Amino acid sequence: MGGLEKKKHERGAATNYITRNKARKKLQLSLADFRRLCILKGIYPHEPKHKKKVNKGSTAPRTFYLIKDIRFLLHEPIVNKFRDYKVFVRKLRKAYGKAEWGAVEKLKDNKPVYKLDHIVKERYPTFIDALRDLDDALSMCFLFATFPRTGRCHVQTIQLCRRLTVEFMNFTIASRSLRKVFLSIKGIYYQAEILGQLITWIVPYSFAHDHPTDVDYRVMATFTEFFTTLLGFVNFRLYQSLNLLYPPKLESGLQQDDDEKYAMDSESYMEKLAALGSSLARVVPSSEEDDVALDEFPADEENAMLLEEKQKEQQMLEKQKKLFEGMKFFLNREVPRESLAFVIRCLGGEVSWDKSLCIGASYPVTDETITHQIVDRPNLNKQLINRYYVQPQWVFDCVNAKTLLPVEDYFLGVNLPPHLSPFVEEKDGDYVPPEKLKLLAIQRGEDTYENQTESEEDEQSAEESEEEEDEDMDETEKQDEERLKNMEAEKVKNKQLNVKVTAGTVKVENKTEVSQREQAEEKRLAIMMMKKREKYLYNKIMFGKKRKVREKNKLAAKRKAHDDILKAEKKKSKKIKSQ
Amino acid sequence: MAAESMSVSANRSNPGGGTKRPLSDLQEKDQLSVFENAAVDEDAGDLTDSEESLFSGLEDSGSDSSDGDDEEEDEEGEDDDDSGVEEKDEKKFSKWDVKMREVARKKEGESNGKLAGSDCSVRPEQTGLTPPGDEYEEDTSDEEDIRNTVGNIPMEWYQDYPHIGYDLDGKKIYKPIRNKDELDEFLDKMENPDYWRTIPDKMTGTEIRLTDEQIDLIHRIQKGQYGDAKFNPYEPSIDFFTHETMIHPVTNHPAHKRSFIPSLVEKDKVSKLVNAIKQGWIKPRKPRDDTPHYYDLWAKEDPNAILGRHKMHVPAPKMKLPGHEESYNPPPEYLLTEEERLAWEQQEPEERKLNFLPQKFTSLRAVPAFSRFIHERFERCLDLYLCPRQRKMRVNVDPEDLIPKLPKPKDLQPFPTTQALVYTGHTNLVRCISVSPSGQWLASGSDDCTIKFWEVSTGRCMRTIEVEGIVRSIAWNPNPVYCLVALTVDRSVVLVNPCLGDKLLYNTTDQLIASFVKPEEEPVQPVEWSAAEGDSFDNGLRLIIKHNKMVKQVTWHGKGDYLATVIPDNGNAQVLIHQLSKRRSQNPFRKNKGMVQCVLFHPIRPFFFVATQRYVRVYNLLKQELTKKLMANCKWVSSMAIHPAGDNVICGSYDSRLAWFDMDLSTKPYKVLRHHKRALRGVAFHKHYPLFASASDDGTVIVCHGMVYSDLLQNPLIVPVKLLKGHEITRDLGVLDVTFHPTQPWLFSSGADGTIRLYT
C-alpha cells in the first residue's frame, strides 16, 4: 500500500511530554533559572504512563514536563526579567573589574526587579485556593523568621517573613480561629480554621539552628520569595475581611503613641505587635461581634440527627473559642512565651509576662487577679494562694480537649499525663490509647470525678482479681494434678491390656463453632475460585488489615506491660509504706 | 632560588658527610644548574639570578691552589687509564676553569649588587670590587661548556655510545673505561679518604673531587645560610633620597599654564548638564522602595475559574499530620523498645517508617531543637517542585465483595466430606487404584511390587498378588461381564482375574480367555501375548502382554474388549491398542508428536484422547484422523479424566493447575483452577454425580462440583466443595491417585504414605 511511512515518536504520548533539558533549551534558561521559574510558577514534572514510549524507546531515567506547561512558560514576563538580571550581573562585574564605581552605583540603582503578584493570582484564581495552599507557606515563613540575620539569606527576606508571620498570628488571634495545637519533638504544630479551610503549620522551637550543609538554600529562598508574596496578599485579604487595619495597628494607645513619640521607630512597634499582647485596631470600631445565628430549617427526621450534631459541634466550637475568657495568665520566663501567648490570646485569655522578658507586658507577677501562672520548673519558692501554678502542657491540652481540664494533673513537679496528638482521629479498629478514651469521656460530659473513683475501684478490683487469680492458680494446679493422676492410671491400664475396646465418648460439638468452621471453609473454597487479579487485590487488602491488627495488638501489649510494671511498683511502694 | 632551596631543604635531613649519595645528588643538581643555565633561562628571571649568584659563590670561594691539587689528584687517579685525549681534555678543563672563575667573579659582583638593590641601598664598597671592563665579554651560554660540544642535551642520549660527546676539534670524547665493580667501589670507599667528596661528572665522565670551599658552600646552603661567607645581609641602609627636607627642590620646573586655567571642556559639559536639569530632562533619582506592596489581589475573582494552564492540575498534597508518637510526651506504648530502636537505627533512612525516634521529655523546657527541621522543610520543597504528581485512585473495595458468590456447598450435596476408612497394608507408596464396576472391590498397585484387592465396605484386604515389578497403573475392566483387572508391571501388561465376587462371573471370564483360538496365520505383532501358567495362573494371572519397553499406563475401552497402553520410551509406538478377544495389538499412530503422558478412550464415541506434555490430541478412531488439539496452557500434563457425557475433559498438570476443557466451546481451557499448591498427580470424574476431584503433592484432595448442563448455551458450573486432608506427605509426595466409587458419592485416594483412604 502507498502512503507515507509512519514515523515513530511523532504522535501520541511522545508529543505531550518534553524532557527537562529540552525544556530548558527551549526557554533558553540556565538550569538554576529554570528551577526558579518552575518553583515560582508551580510547575512540576509529570510521570508519563508509558515512559518508554515517551522516552523514544530509551529507558534512561528522565524527568518529563508537560509540553503545555513549558509552552505556558514561554510567554512569562519573568523569564525576560531573568535574562535582564543575567545581563545586569555581567555589567556589574565588568564595572567592578574596571573599578568604575559610578557605573556600579548606577547599575545597582537600576537593578531589575520582578513582582510575583500576577503569578499568585494565576496560581490561585480564588482566595480559597490560596488558603488551601497556605500550609507550606506558613511553615516556611515561620522557619525563615527564626533564621539568624547574618549569612544564609537576605536580611530583608527574614524581616519580611517575621513581619508576615506576626501579622498572620495577630489575625488568628483576632479571628479566634485556632483549633488545635500539638507539641511535637519537631516543633509546635498549630491548626487554624479560616473560612472553613483547615490550615496547619509547624513552628520550630526557638533555638539557634545548626545549619546543615547538604541543603540548597537557594531553592528554599526561591520558595520563600513566592510564599512571602502569597502570604502578604492573603494577610491583606484576611485583615480586610475582619475590618482590621492593614498594616496592623494596635488598638489601645494608638493616639497616645502617635502623640508621644511620633518618630517612634517602626522596629519597636513591630516588636510590640510581635508580642501578641494586645488586640488590633479596626477600621470600623465594632464592639460586638455579629454572630449570624444559624437558621433552623424544618428538617425531616434523617436530617434532624445531622442538624443536631452540627449544632452540638457549633456549640463546642463556640465554647472552645471562649475557653480562656475571663482568665488571666502570667508566663514565667522559662516557658515559650510566643507560642503560649498566641494560644492563650487565641482563646480569649489575657496574658502577661515579665517586663524584662519582652516588650508589651501588661501586668506584673504581683497582680492579684491573675488566675493561672504558667511555670515550667520543679518547684517555686513563693507561691500565691489565689492562683494556679500549672505547667505549660495544660494550656495546650485544654485547647485540644476544648474544655478546661482539671489542673491537678498539671501542677508543678507532677508527672505530666501524656500529650496526645489532636490530629489523630481513630476509626474503629484502630488502637486508642487509654488517655484518649478518658479525654473522650470528659468531652462527652461524664464527670471526671467518677473516672477517678472508677480508676481507684479499678485498682481495688485489680487487686481483688489478683487474689482471685491466686485462687485460680490453686484450682488449676489441682486440676493439673488430677489430670496427671488420670494419665498415670491410663498408662497403667494400657500396660495391663494391650487390646481393649473402650466405650467411645460422645463428642459434644458446639453448634456455633461448627457453623463457624463451615463458613470459614466455604470462604476458603470461594477464595480459591477468585480470579487471579482479584485474588491479588484481596490478598493485598487482607495483608494490610492484618498488619493493622498486628500493630494495634503490639501497642496494646506494650501498654499493658508498662501498666503492669507501674502497678507492681505501686504495690511495692505501698508495702514499704505499710511496713 | 625557590626551586633550589626546596631541593636543598629536602636533602637537609641527611648529613652531607655521612653518605655519598645525597651529596652527589645535590652536586649533580648543582652542576646541572651550572651547565644548563641557558635552559633555566626560560623560567623567571629571578631564578636565573639566584642561580648565578649561587654558582658564583661556588666558584669564587675555591682557591686556585686547591683547584690545582684537585687536578693533580685527578691526573694521578686516571693516569693509568691513559691517554693523549685525556691530556687535552685536562688542558681544556683548566682553561674552562679559569674562564669560569672570571665569569663567576663578575657575576658575584652583580648578584651582590642585586641583593643590595633589593634592600634599597647602595653599597659602594662592593661596587668598588667589581672589575672594570666590559661585563659581557664572555657572557655567552655557548662558551660555558667548552670541553664537550654536544650542548644542552640530556646526557642519557649518549648512554649507548662509547663516547660522550665531541671536543672543540670535533673529535670524540670517549667515556673513561669503567672497570670499577662493587668491590672496587667498596675498597675505594674504605681506603680513599676523599671518597665522600668525589662525584662523577656526567658531561665529561670524569670524577671530580670537591674542594673544601665547595663543600663548605654546600653546608652553608644546607643550613640555609648565604652562599658567600663574607656576605653581610645586615649592612646599614643608606637612603637614596634623604629623608631630611632640603632647601632646594629636586626639580624646578615652573607650573604649566593649564594647571591654573579652568577647563573649557569641563565648562561645556557642566553647562549642558545644567541646561538639562533646567529643562527637566534629568530628574533626581527616586529612592527605591523595596518593601512589597500588598493589595486586594482577589478583588475580582471568578469562582468558576480553573487554573489557566490545564484542567488536570493536581494541587500539592498536604503534609502528613503528626501522630501520637511525635509528641514530646507520648503515651508509653509509642516509645520504641531497645530492639526496635536498634532496628530503626540499622534501617536505611528511606526505609524507616518514622523519620524520627520517638522520645519522652518530662517537661517542655527539656525539649531540644529538632536537628532535622531544616532538612524536612527542604525535602518538602523538593517534593513540591521535583515530584511528579498523580491522582491515585484508592481502591475502596470491601474485600468481602471480591469473593465470588458461589452456590453454597451444602446445596450441592452429596459429595464426600469425611474420611471413613483407611486401607492399610501396603509398605510402599501406592501408585494406582481402581474400583470394580460393581463398586464392591478395590484394586491397588504399589511400589512394594504387590497388588492388593480390598473389600470397599470393610477395608479388608481380600487378596495380595505379588508381581515382578513396580505397578504403575491398574485398571478394572469396565464391562461388568468380565472380572478382569489390567495392570502394568515393568515391561508387561498383566491381566489378572481376581476371582472375587460372583463365582459364575469370574469363571466365565476364565472361560472366555481360555476359548481363544489362535488364528492360522500369525500376524506380526509389536508385542508378545502369552497366557499364564502354573503358579502364576493360580495367583490369578491370566494373560501377559510383553512390551519392548517399560509400560506406564493401561486403560480400558468402555466395552471392555480393547485396552490401550502407553510406552513412553518406545519411539513412534508410544501408544498401543490391544484387543483382548483376538489377542491382537496395533500401533494406531505412524508418528508420535511429543512425549505421551496418558491416553483415554471416549466413553461413548469412537474418540481417543492422547495427552502429550502440553497438548491433548483427540483422534477419531473410525475416520483415523485428528479431530481436535486442546491447548492445556500448562507446562506438563500429568493426568487426564473425561466427563462421562464425553464433552468435557479435565487435565491435571505438574505446575499445580487443573484445566477444564469444554470441547464444544474451544480448544483452550474453559477454566484453569489453581487450587493446589503443589503438582497435581491425579484427577477423576464421578460417573453419575457432577463431581470431580484432583489429588496433589500437597497432601490434599479437592473435590469440586462440576455441573455440565445439557443446555448447550449454559456453561459448566464449577464450585469447589471440599478440601480433603488425610494423607501424609512422604518423600515430597502426597496423594498419588484418586478415583470415585462408581455408584456412591465416595472417593478413594492413594498416597505416598502407603495408605488408601475412603472419603464418604
Give yes or no for A521 touching B (CB within 8 A): yes
pTM above 0.90, yes or no: no
The answer to whether the CB of A378 falls within 8 A of the CB of A413 is yes
Contact (Cβ atoms closer than 8 angstroms) between residue B692 and residue B686: yes
Nearest CA among B444, B431, B514 for reference residue B476: B444
Name chain B contacts of A211, Cβ cutoff 8 Å. 374
Whole-number pLDDT of residue B168 = 81
Give B310's contacts in chain A (Cβ within 8 Å): 66, 68-69
Taking alpha carbons only, the member of A166, A141, A137, A338 closest to residue A267 is A166
Are the C-beta atoms of B484 and B542 separated by less than 8 Å?
yes
Write the residue in A219, A237, A420 that is nearest to B324 by C-beta.
Answer: A420
- Residue A373 belongs to what H/E stretch? strand A372-374
* C-alpha to C-alpha distances, B145 to A11, B97, B153, B176, nearest whole angstrom: 80, 10, 12, 19
For chain A (length 579 residues), average pLDDT per consecutive 10? 76 86 92 92 88 85 89 89 93 94 90 90 88 93 89 85 92 91 93 92 89 89 93 93 85 50 60 78 59 54 78 85 88 90 90 86 87 88 87 91 88 89 85 86 66 44 44 56 67 59 77 86 82 86 91 90 90 82
Contacts of B358 in chain A (CB under 8 A): 185
A interface mutation test: which of B311, B313, B362, B381 has the most A CBs within 10 A?
A: B381
Would the CB atoms of A45 and B386 count as touching at under 8 Å?
yes
B669 touches chain A (CB under 8 A): no
Is the Cβ of A524 closer than 8 Å to some Cβ of chain B? yes
pLDDT value for B2: 38
pLDDT in tens, B401-456: 888 787 777 788 888 888 888 888 888 888 889 888 888 888 888 888 888 888 88
A329 min Cα distance to partner chain B (Å) = 18
Nearest CA in chain A to B375: A215
CB contact under 8 A, B363 and A122: no
**Distance in angstroms (rounded) separating the CA atoms of residues B693 and B737:** 10
C-alpha distances (whole Å) from B651 to each of A20, B572, B648, B664 are 55, 24, 10, 16
User: How many other CB atoms are there within 10 angstroms of residue A574's CB atom?
Assistant: 11
**CA A183 distance to own-chain centroid:** 10
Q: Is A317 helix (H, G, I), strand (E, B) or coil?
A: helix
Interface of A with B in 426-445 (CB under 8 A): 433-435
Is A385 at the interface with chain B, CB within 8 A?
no
Cα B754–chain centre separation = 48
User: Chain A contact for B392, CB < 8 A?
Assistant: no
In angstroms, what separates the C-alpha of B315 from chain A's closest C-alpha?
8
Which residues lie closer than 8 Å to B169 by C-beta, 6 or more apart? Answer: none
pLDDT of residue B247: 85
Q: How many CA atoms lie within 13 A of A28 on its CB side?
A: 11
Cβ-defined contact of A185 to B319 (cutoff 8 Å): no
Q: In order along chain B (760 residues), what is the average pLDDT of each group of 10 residues?
A: 38 39 41 39 39 39 40 41 42 44 46 41 41 51 63 83 83 78 86 85 80 90 87 84 80 86 93 94 81 86 61 82 91 88 88 88 89 92 90 78 79 83 86 87 87 86 85 86 85 83 79 77 77 77 83 86 85 82 81 84 87 87 85 86 85 88 83 86 88 88 85 81 84 88 88 86
* Side chain identity at residue B280, one-letter code: G
Cβ-Cβ contacts under 8 Å, B389 against chain A: 44, 46
User: pLDDT value at position B508?
Assistant: 82
Nine-digit cell string for A352: 502577661
State the Cα–Cα distance between residues B486 and A13, nearest whole angstrom. 66
Q: 70-99 in A: which are within 8 Å (CB) of B? A: 72
Q: Rounded CA gap, A534 and B503, in Å?
A: 58
Strand order in the sheet with A197-203: A178-183, A188-194, A197-203
Determine the pLDDT at residue B129. Answer: 43
Q: Are B679 and B704 in contact (CB under 8 A)?
A: no
Residue A133 to residue B723, Cβ atoms within 8 A: no
Among A184, A376, A541, whose Cβ lies nearest the Cβ of B327? A184
- Selection from B683, B710, B704, B685 nearest residue B694 by Cα: B683
Across the interface, of A46, A216, A418, the residue whose CB is closest to B327 is: A418
Residue B377 sits at the chain A interface (C-beta within 8 Å): yes
Q: What is d(CA B754, CA B450) in angstroms, rounded to the nearest whole number?
A: 12
CB contact under 8 A, B321 and A200: yes
- Residues within 8 A of B (CB atoms), A 240-279 only: 240, 246
Closest by Cα among B486, B489, B468, B490 to B477 = B486
